[in-house]
Structure 1
Amino acid sequence: MIDRTIAISNVYIMLAYAFRAIRSRGKDRIEAQRFDHLHDLLAEILVRGVGAQVKRGLHRDYLNRRDELATVRGRINITRTIATRSMTRGRMVCEFDEYEADTPHNRALKSVIVLLIRSGDVDASRKAALRRLLPYLDAVTLIAPTSIRWDALTFHRANATYRLLLGVCELVVRGLLPTEGPGAMRLTSWVSDEQMNRLYERFVREYFVLHHPELSPGAPSVAWDFDDTNAHGVEQLPAMRTDVTLRSGQRTLIVDAKYYGQSMQVGMWGKPTVHSANLYQMLAYAKNADVHRDGSVSGLLLYARTHAPEQPDLDVVIQGNRIGARTLDLGQPWEIIRAQLEDIPTWLEDKQTALTQ
């Protein structure tokens, strides 16, 4: 289940940042509404987004088709023509390109719209609005949601407006996956931790990409700083992939976004501590990235805040590198969340300088 400390309206903001649609028209109208269920929010995004897309024109592409025709069109497939004995009927098997809307992008949209209508916990008025979109997708093939190849969907200037819509569709299919029960299929009520963690990571990274390009935000991998002379089996070292890396001058901050149901672990004696695996991971990142051994690399674990009374609040210097853990309260109004995000770049300052401010 999604942690109820996350305001549903903030899920939309996270989606908008994650899929680079923060400047989309209608954003303010969606934010101003109240949604009791996450399905309602996702349905509303599709209602508005697909409706606007219909007005400007659905995405179309040249798709390869094969058909038995009486006149030549495109290229004649000699092998198929002979195999099907089309010539005896005065016809030929031709292969040609057709410019149409039955693209993988529109198939994904139609599939998820139908899924929400049939199985989603969506308000009746929004289900009706979704149904009104279907006639515009009549020429689009209805496919099984689980057959969609999300990694094969590419975006460019002509279909950039699909980025948020298909991001929502992917969240529905992967996070709100249909579950088959005796005689019925239904959607789970909330997004899984795994899917929310992916969305949370992407949201944090894209926030800094949009608002702080001067910090060169990215998600590079950290190379292991090992001794080449006696190295053996280095290909077995696991990859160290960062969620967000910010740079200012000679200083670097590695941010690891964590979305857990429990943001702290509890030891044998009931003492809450930062997750040890997360802390070891961040220390490894910082020490290996700090190739000059000058303490210029810091590491910050950024947890989504939970209901627990004890929350991560760590700020220490370990072997010369500043390591910390704090939370981002996604249940607060956006202005407060943004202020918390804007405080993160201060970690690029020297620790002593930051502490005196």
Structure 2
Amino acid sequence: MAEWETRDVAGVALTPRDRRLVDEVNATRRMTILETRNGVRVETRSWVGVLRFEEWELRVVPKLSGGDPGVAAMVHATAGLGSLRALSGLRTLHASGATLLDLLAMLFARECESVVRAGLLSDYVEREDALPAVRGRILANRQVLERFGQVDRVICRYEERESDVWENQLLASALAQVAPRVRHPQARSHLLRLRALFAEVCPAPPPAWRSPSGDDYHRLNEHYRSAHTLASLLLRSMGIRELLRAGEHRGFAFLLDMNVLFERFVSHLVEHALTGHGVRVHRQRQDRLIWDVDRGAPYARIIPDLLVEAASGSRLSVDAKYKAYDDRKLSPADVYQGFLYARAYGGARVDGVAQAMVLFPCGGGTLQRKRLRVRDGAGADLAELTAVGVPLSLAIEELAANGGPMLQAVRELILERLGKA
């Protein structure tokens, strides 16, 4: 099925385990699955991926990105995995029956192999144990309370240099969860080999995991960043919080939110297009521009997906909307938001009119453009919202080629609204 599609699927049934999976998916509103007299009714939303039931499988495939390989390319770009030319083998893998999970798992396996080649990190880990000889610091209080009168062992606190550190634990945990769920033979072979290697390094993965932040990385562990990004993406898309939970791998959901992915991809696209043109691109910048007059204090923040700022001080908000605006009107909420941003960041002007932009995905091979203006009661233009349809497949190709006419057109539109054209 495609995104935002409703279909009645006849001749399939849900087992008790399937119903538990359906309840989890319905509760998170990633899609809606309802049992009917003849089968099930499925209503997809903006999430793509695979739901594997005990007797059948449901795949949700994106319409505008060139299918699952296109989504893998978007993930590859937003995760900072290097040149997109490395993705050439994924289309061959997809042609042989690989799902989106298989493709992303293959990317993850490659990044894990890169970490192994660069060298697994080890660090000093603090331990406490009863030892036959003194090592480190004796814990006198515990010795008296737990081993009073016994001198064959001494409770000590000491440091041991080990590879069982959080950098390796996250990869070991993700490999343990992903490997049993991958079906494509080539991807599965890579993952199983890596799972065995990391299981020796980290014999007991932690029961919970967290996505690392930029502050977690430094000179010694920077080569883990890309692998960690993919590990977090895979675990989050499978809805896994507790890594030691019991359960069969026959039924599970792997669903990726295209809203979030498209927003990150647009950020990468705009940053790439504007590199070297004297502007700064801020992601998710928060500005307290809505004011409570009575209290004399900020009321709410404005948070555009991107804020492009020129050296002159001119600023332009650029929002990413994963919606099919190529064949329908912009929603009132997106129009109102765009006009608010245009007026709030009024430094970017064309013909004296405040500007804002929205980027959305479209088909075909050229940019689409719609311009809306809001006027006052006297008919004077106050703000303009430019909605630009970006052909995703072409954008992915031009990023792989490090440039092209579509990227140039995006750059010119933005620079024109900043007064730099």
Is TM more than 0.5 here? Answer: yes
Distance 2:246 2:333 in 1: 37
Secondary structure in 2 aligned to 1:150?
coil
- Report the residue type matching 1:301 in the other structure: V
Partner of 1:252: 315
- The amino acid across from 2:409 in the alignment is D
Q: Could you tell me how far 1:30 is from its partner in structure 2?
A: 3.0
2:81 aligned to which of 16, 21, 24: 21
TM superposition shift of 1:256? 1.0
Equivalent in the alignment of 1:315: 371
Q: 2:357 aligns with which of 294, 300, 315?
A: 300
Q: 1:150 maps to which residue?
A: 211
Equivalent residue letter for 1:186: G
| Residues 203 and 76 (structure 1), Cα distance of their counterparts in 2 relative to 1, 3 Å cut | farther
Question: Counterpart of 1:268?
Answer: none
Structure 1 contact 222–285 (Cα < 8 Å) conserved: no
Is 1:345 aligned with 2:405?
Answer: no
Aligned residue for 2:87? 30
The one of 142, 146, 159 aligned to 1:84: 146
**Paired residues of 1:178 and 1:186 also in contact (CA < 8 A):** no
Q: Deviations over 1:13-46 (max 9, x none)?
A: 43333233325xxx53433431241112112112
RMSD of aligned C-alpha atoms? 3.6
Q: 1:215 aligns with which of 279, 295, 298?
A: 279
CA distance in structure 1 between the partners assigned to 2:415 and 2:339 by the alignment:
18
SS, match of residue 128 in structure 2: strand
Instruction: Name the structure where strand makes up a greater proportion of residues.
Output: 2
Distance 1:124-1:350 versus aligned 2 partners, 3 A rule = closer
Q: Distance in 2 between matches of 1:21 and 1:183?
A: 32
Secondary structure (helix, strand or coil) at the match of 2:80 reads coil
Provide the C-alpha distance between the structure 2 equivalents of 1:346 and 1:292, rounded to a whole number of angstroms: 14
Q: Which is helix-richer, 1 or 2?
A: 1
Tell me by how many angstroms 1:274 deviates. 0.3
**Cα distance in structure 2, aligned partners of 1:93 and 1:232:** 60
Q: Look up the equivalent residue of 1:62 and give its one-letter code.
A: Y
Could you say what secondary structure the match of 1:314 adopts?
Answer: strand
**Conserved? CA contact 1:247–1:253, under 8 Å:** yes
Distance 2:253 2:239 in 1: 7
What is the letter of the counterpart of residue 187 of structure 1? F
How many residue pairs get aligned? The number is 334
Mapped to 2, the partners of 1:157 and 1:343 lie a distance apart of 38
Cα offset, 1:170, TM superposition: 1.4
Contact 2:212/2:228 (8 A) holds in 1: no
Matched, 1:167 2:229: yes
Aligned-partner SS, 1:20: coil
Shift of 1:329: 2.2
In structure 2, relative to structure 1, the CA distance for the partners of 1:107 and 1:323 (3 Å cut) is same
Structure 2 counterpart of 1:218, one-letter code: H
Structure 2 length normalisation: TM-score?
0.68
The answer as to whether partners of 2:348 and 2:417 remain within 8 angstroms in 1 is no
Query: CA deviation digits over 1:158-203, x for unaligned, max 9?
Result: 2222222111111111123369999655332542x3xx32232223
Task: Answer yes or no: is 1:97 the counterpart of 2:159.
Answer: yes
- The percentage of counterpart residues that share the same residue type is 22
Preserved CA contact (<8 Å) 2:316 2:345: no
- SS of aligned partner of 1:88: coil
Would the alpha carbon gap of residues 198 and 93 (structure 1) be closer, same or farther in structure 2, given more than 3 Å must change?
farther
8 Å Cα contact 1:20/1:163 also seen in 2:
no
Distance change in 2, residues 1:242/1:95 (3 Å): farther
Q: Which runs of 5+ in 2 are unaligned?
A: 1-46, 49-61, 375-380
Alignment match, 2:193: 132
The one-letter amino acid of 1:101's match is S
Task: Measure how far apart 1:57 and its partner are.
Answer: 1.0
Amino acid at match of 2:64: T
Contact 1:68 1:86 in 2 (8 A): no
Structure 1: 5+ residue runs without aligned partners? Answer: 265-270
Query: Which of 330, 338, 343 does residue 274 from structure 1 map onto?
Result: 330
Q: 1:161 to 1:87 in 2, by over 3 A?
A: farther
Q: Aligned with 1:161: secondary structure?
A: helix
Larger RCO (CA within 8 A; separation ≥ 6): 1
| One-letter amino acid of the counterpart of residue 171, structure 1 | L
| Counterpart for residue 377 of structure 2 | none
Q: For residues 13 and 239 of structure 1, what CA distance do their matches in structure 2 show?
A: 33
- Corresponding position: 1:123 with 2:123: no
For 1:336 and 1:280, how far apart are their aligned partners in 2?
A: 32
Q: Which deviations, in whole Å up to 9, do the C-alpha atoms of 1:297-330 show, x marking residues without a partner?
A: 53111123379xxx97422343443312122222
* Corresponding position of 2:301: 239
- Decide whether the 8 Å contact of 1:21 with 1:163 is kept in 2: no
> Does the CA-based 8 Å contact 2:129-2:156 persist in structure 1?
yes
For the 8 Å contact 2:64–2:361, the answer to whether it is kept is no
CA–CA separation in structure 2 for the residues paired with 1:352 and 1:291: 8
The alpha-carbon deviation at position 48 of structure 1 amounts to 1.6
Task: Compute the displacement of 1:142 (Å).
Answer: 4.3
Question: For 1:44-102, what per-residue CA distance to the aligned partner results, in whole angstroms no more than 9, with x for missing partners?
Answer: 11222212221221122332222222333233333322222166143222222322221
User: 1:292: how far off?
Assistant: 9.9
Aligned to 2:44: none
Q: 1:70 to 1:173 in 2, by over 3 A?
A: same
